[in-house]
């Protein structure tokens, strides 16, 4: 799947909801939350922070997937092509 396909799939999924995309500030907050969850998983796996007994099993791939989803939502809501965004920095 390329980035344009990812954006189309996200747009189709969001299209089923009357509300549509969230406000950009809400998406930024969600992205920050997801990056924090990824950081926590990395810290559990490679750092010195052990998991608490009551903490569920996490997954780096799940957290990265959540981040990709939010980035896709963000780009779609602002009418940005992620492939073009990426080309600008490479």
Which DSSP state fits 20?
Answer: -
Report long-range pairs for 9-16 (Cβ below 8 Å, ≥24 apart): 10/69, 10/72, 10/73, 10/76, 11/76, 14/73, 14/76
Q: Structure tokens of 76? A: 């779609």
Q: How confident is the model at residue 71, as a pLDDT?
A: 98
pTM of the model: 0.87
Kindly report the CATH number assigned to the domain that includes residue 74. 1.10.287.1080
Q: What is the pLDDT of residues 25-81, one digit of tens each?
A: 999 999 999 999 999 999 988 988 777 777 677 789 999 999 999 999 999 999 999
Domain count, the chain: 1
Q: Are the CB atoms for 19 and 12 separated by under 8 Å? A: no
Q: Are the CB atoms for 65 and 26 separated by under 8 Å? A: no
Q: Structure tokens of 40? A: 């926590």
Task: For residues 79 and 70, give the distance between their C-alpha atoms in angstroms, rounded to a whole number.
Answer: 14
Q: How confident is the model at residue 45, as a pLDDT?
A: 87
Structural domain of 17: 3-89
Q: How confident is the model at residue 19, as a pLDDT?
A: 93
């Amino acid at each position: 799947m390329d980035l344009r396909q990812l954006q189309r799939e996200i747009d189709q999924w969001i299209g089923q909801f009357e509300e549509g995309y969230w406000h950009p500030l809400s998406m930024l907050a969600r992205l920050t939350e997801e990056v924090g969850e990824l950081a926590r998983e990395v810290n559990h796996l490679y750092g010195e922070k052990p998991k608490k007994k009551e903490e569920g099993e996490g997954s780096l791939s799940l957290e990265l997937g959540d981040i990709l989803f939010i980035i896709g939502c963000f780009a779609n809501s602002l009418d940005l092509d992620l492939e073009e965004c990426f080309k600008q920095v490479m």
